[in-house]
């Protein structure tokens, strides 16, 4: 079983839509959860960083962690064509330790 | 402040050769990690250094090695290159309590 499962997509939505991206993971001994955005031929860019369960909001982005269900979500409100990228979820046992990544979900926001 | 800098950006090597990649972390970040990204396997953890000590190591053969200097700059080395080593190699740095910030990567092609 893969440690972090993520639907590869592609996911195509119209501009202005609310986007929901999800990951599931095995082994609950992880405390730190992150979402990264990666444009083609670039390195991943940190979007959200959360500790344990709960929600975190930053502008149009909301990250949600449900440790009881082992489920991580990223919501993007008012999606823009510039949001078109691959979104990667990641987890770590502890701050500064190795990240386990999902394979990424490709998102396309059409004007 | 300056981001994570990786050099070179692109590299072409022949099978059997060795290669050294360089990473300069964000000023003040003492943790540096290396990841390999391929279309098939996604992002996979290679190793992580903190204050010149390797703290974690991923599941890669001994041909992959790294080190960190007293100024937190890091290098990774791959010896006896194989075609399957062709990938984007990403370096990330972190400060305690923060997520990892990635560089743009070095794209290595082995021919």
Any A CB within 8 A of B105 CB:
yes
Element (DSSP H or E) covering residue A71: strand A71-76
pLDDT mean across residues, chain A: 90
Any A CB within 8 A of B101 CB:
yes
Residues of chain B with pLDDT under 50: none
**CA-wise closest residue to A38 among A101, A92, A100, A99:** A101
pLDDT of residue B95: 83
pLDDT of residue A96: 60
What the block records as the tokens of B9 is: 């950006």
Q: Give A40 to chain B, closest Cα distance, Å.
A: 10
pLDDT digits (tens, 9 = 90+) for A63-86: 999 888 888 999 999 999 999 999
| Residue A83 phi, psi (nearest 5) | -80, -10
B48 CB neighbours in chain A (<8 A) are: 96-98
Any A CB within 8 A of B35 CB:
yes
A41 CB neighbours in chain B (<8 A) are: 107
For residue A59, give every residue at least 6 positions away whose Cβ sits within 8 Å of its Cβ, in sequence order, or none.
none
Say which DSSP state B18 is in.
Answer: -
Collapsing DSSP to helix, strand or coil, A28 comes out as coil
CB within 8 Å: A98 and B58? yes
Quote the CA–CA distance of B54 and A13 in Å, as a whole number: 43
Pairing of strands A32-38, A54-58: unpaired
List A residues 19-78 in contact with B (Cβ-Cβ < 8 A): 32, 34, 36, 41-46, 49
Range with top average pLDDT, A54-68, A89-103, B76-90: B76-90
Matching residue, tokens 């770590």? A92
SS3 assignment for B34-45: EEEEECCCEEEE
Confirm if B99 and A63 have CB atoms less than 8 A apart: no
CB within 8 Å: B101 and A99? no
pLDDT category of residue A92 using cuts at 50, 70 and 90 = confident
Confirm if B4 and B12 have CB atoms less than 8 A apart: no
């Amino acid at each position: 079983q893969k440690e972090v499962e993520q639907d590869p997509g592609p996911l195509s939505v119209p501009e202005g839509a609310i986007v929901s991206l999800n990951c599931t993971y095995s082994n609950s001994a992880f405390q730190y959860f992150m979402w990264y955005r990666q444009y083609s031929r670039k390195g991943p860019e940190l979007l959200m960083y959360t500790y344990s369960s709960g929600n975190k909001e930053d502008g149009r982005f909301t990250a949600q962690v449900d440790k009881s269900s082992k489920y991580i979500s990223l919501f993007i409100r008012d999606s823009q064509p510039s949001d078109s990228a691959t979104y990667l979820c990641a987890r770590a046992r502890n701050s500064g330790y190795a990240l386990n990544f999902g394979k990424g979900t490709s998102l396309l926001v059409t004007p | 402040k300056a981001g994570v800098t990786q050099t070179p950006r692109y590299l072409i090597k022949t099978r059997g050769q060795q290669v050294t990649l360089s990473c300069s972390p964000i000023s003040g970040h003492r943790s540096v990690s290396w990841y390999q990204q391929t279309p098939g396997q996604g992002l996979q953890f290679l190793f992580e250094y903190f204050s010149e000590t390797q703290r974690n190591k991923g599941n890669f053969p001994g041909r992959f090695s790294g080190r960190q200097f007293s100024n937190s700059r890091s290098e990774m080395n791959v010896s006896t290159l194989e075609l399957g080593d062709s990938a984007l190699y990403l370096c990330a740095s972190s400060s305690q309590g923060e997520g990892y910030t990635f560089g743009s990567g070095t794209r290595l092609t082995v021919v």
